[in-house]
Structure 1
Amino acid sequence: MRVHIEQRFVDLPAEIQQALSVPDQNPFFNAAFLRALEETACVSPSQGWQPTHLWIESADQAVFYLPLYKKSHSWGEFVFDQSWANAYHRHGLPYYPKWVSAIPFTPSLGPRWWVKPGTDAALAWQCAADYIKAALAGGMASSWHLLFAQGEDLPLQDDEALVRRDTQFHWLNQGYQGFDDFLGQMKSRKRKSMRRERAKVAEQGVSLVRKLGTELSESDWIEFYACYCNTYHERG
């Protein structure tokens, strides 16, 4: 097995791009999404995200892919490790650049690597791990971070890797046919409180409109972008 590094998603083998273009798969670990991030310069060296996509070749075929970015800061990850960076700095050690395998700006659980069916996944991961460890030892980055990965068999859970666990709160529809079904799971006091809150919103003339992406107008996108930017202006 041989490791390759590409600095543009479009330079990855066609087989990888096709595998990440299957309809109805994860919308973020997706060729169109990852490519768009680079084409719009949302992900670029000037933004502190240097694409360093890792893929593995075996028998003249692409068998493994790991999104990899060389980061000069910690923004856009939604994993707040600035305290680690400060600790490195206090001890005279560089924390940046670091390597991150993640979906930029997307704190959503999901797949974070691709293995071609029929490939020995453990062997492919060992090959990738050996490359990453050697690169870190050579000073190419301070550390490697795998963010918001989903799956039971996470790689590198050994003495040289630490597993950091966090909590996310997800709302799941438990077969509710309507809002009253949802309220029916609550105690009377909470039902009344929620109905009062919703009534106040309705009295102010606020309404909810649901649109598909193809239905959005130019003004909708401008408003959405303004709201998105405001989050960063207020919270960093």
Structure 2
Amino acid sequence: MSNATIEVTAHPTINAIAASDWDACACPEAVDGGRPDDPFTTHRFLRALEDSGSVGPGTGWQPRYITAHQDGEMIAAAPLYAKGHSQGEYIFDHNWAHAYENAGGRYYPKLQIAVPFTPATGRRFLTKPGFEVAGMSALVQGAVQIATDNDVSSLHATFCTEAEALAGQEMGLLGRIGQQFHWVNDAYTDFDAFLASLSSRKRKTLRKERKQANDFGGEIVMLTGDQIQPEHWDAFWVFYQDTGNRKWGTPYLTRKFFDLAHQTLRDDMLMVLALRDGRPVAGALNFIGRDTLYGRYWGCIEHHPCLHFEVCYYRAIDFAIQHGLGKVEAGAQGEHKLARGYLPVATHSLHWFRDGGFQDAVARYLKAEREAVDHEIEVLTSYGPFRKTDMEDHQ
């Protein structure tokens, strides 16, 4: 299978690519109507981002989706964007941008293979089964060629899988690791079985937190699919704006995104709402993969003790156990997740710089950073809440 027969094309809109062709590469496991491994690289999710104006003109995320065809058949694709800033990525390169520009270069625009605003691990080089090697090679070569032809400073692929990171490094890209906190389902039958795996002190703490949270004066509901109604999005938009204004200055997603999500994504979502007198006062939004629940957004208009932990973390664990999911990814950062059973794991990204000298300097930096991150993961894991024998099983 020769790369010479593969044609790579860039597209300014996802609407130029048939959903069936894209999803045959992004989620071939769902071709029978099942749930995709990763909801974030589906055509419907990326289209909702674009059609809602959350990405596109004026956002700093300009779509340049790339596809690879062999003998007329689409064999691979990647969600590529031209970036005018480094916001909404969760793998931070601000120091690289400053160093590049201090040396007289122009860092932006750069190219980014990513799911915007989504720090969740998944395949970024989307290949049809049987075309994994040739497809990824074509996408990498094509993206690097686009960067070179347009005098773009760099190419980045963020929150890729470990397998992709290793393959990318074989192709000359630089590998970087970070860390997140994930909860792993050790075949627990219910939440009490999970609690039994914790040390006595941590177990008592979690029970106390759950009681405090559920005594907030209302009820907590968990909604998926058609249970999610338009009025729930009205409430959640208020929560999302509050969190977005505090964290990012301006919320990344537009109001229209949630309307489109209701139309095309609600079966991929779990919304957890805290209601008082029937009125939503806090909520969390999760996305459901085939084996993973992805925690994404949280917000509130009333503050109650431990309600954040219950709505975001404990209810996510409940759902994962009830539905036989293997893990919960709780999003970016947050060492407070450690005490609640979410242990540190490595995340992966790939990077390429057009300037060879800068590429060498970043390579040296990443070697030292990797050692520091590896050590941090080891130390944080040792502080996990599990009983000693269970902790050894988790390492």
Paired letter, 1:78: Y
Q: Deviations over 1:154-203 (max 9, x none)?
A: 34314842111011111122222233222222232222222222332233
User: TM-score of the superposition, structure 2-length normalised?
Assistant: 0.55
Q: 1:30, CA displacement in angstroms?
A: 0.6
Farther off after superposition, 155-164 or 26-35: 155-164
Distance 1:140 1:80 in 2: 22
CA gap of 1:159–1:92, structure 2 versus 1, over 3 A, is farther
Distance 2:23 2:244 in 1: 33
Structure (1/2) with the larger strand percentage? 2
Spell out, residue by residue over 1:64-111, the C-alpha distance to the aligned partner (whole angstroms, 9 max, x if none).
211101110111111122122122222221111111111111111112
The amino acid across from 2:115 in the alignment is I
Name the structure with the higher helix share: 2
The counterpart of 2:104, out of the listed 82, 92, 113, is 92
What secondary structure does 1:225 align onto? helix
Q: Which has the higher contact order (CA 8 A, sep 6+)?
A: 2
CA-based RMSD: 2.1
2:124 corresponds to 1:112: yes
Query: What's 2:13 paired with?
Result: 8
Match of 1:76 in 2: 88
Aligned length: 235
For the pair 1:66 / 2:71, whether they are aligned, the reply is no
Out of 45, 49, 68, the residue aligned to residue 33 of structure 1 is 45
- More displaced, 214-223 or 17-26? 17-26
Check conservation: 2:9, 2:68, Cα contact below 8 A.
yes
Alignment of 1:211-230 (within 5 A): 211-230=223-242
The answer as to whether partners of 1:13 and 1:62 remain within 8 angstroms in 2 is no
Residues 81, 231 of structure 1: alpha-carbon distance in 2 compared, 3 angstrom cutoff: farther
Unaligned segments of structure 2, at least 5 residues: 1-5, 249-395
TM score, norm. by length of structure 1: 0.89
> 1:125 corresponds to which residue?
136
Native 8 Å contact 2:10 2:67 kept in 1: yes
Per the alignment, residue 48 of structure 1 pairs with: 60
Any idea what the Cα deviations from partners look like across 1:1-34, whole Å, max 9, x if unmatched?
1111111111125652351463311211111111
**Larger displacement relative to structure 2 (173-182 or 152-161):** 152-161
Is the CA contact (8 Å cut-off) linking 1:16 and 1:65 kept in structure 2?
no
Contact 2:85–2:109 (Cα < 8 Å) also in 1: yes
Cα displacement string for residues 129-175 of structure 1 (whole angstroms, at most 9, x for unaligned residues) = 33333333334421111111124243431484211101111112222
Query: Which ranges of structure 1 fall in alignment gaps of 5 or more residues?
Result: none
**Does the 8 Å CA contact 1:88/1:95 hold for their aligned counterparts?**
yes
The 2-side partners of 1:182 and 1:117 are apart by 36
Return 208-217 or 158-167, whichever deviates more: 158-167
Pairwise mapping of residues 58-207 of structure 1 onto structure 2 (< 5 A)? 58-119=70-131, 121-154=132-165, 155-158=167-170, 160-207=172-219
Q: Distance in 1 between matches of 2:69 and 2:60?
A: 28
Change (3 A) 1:197 1:64: closer
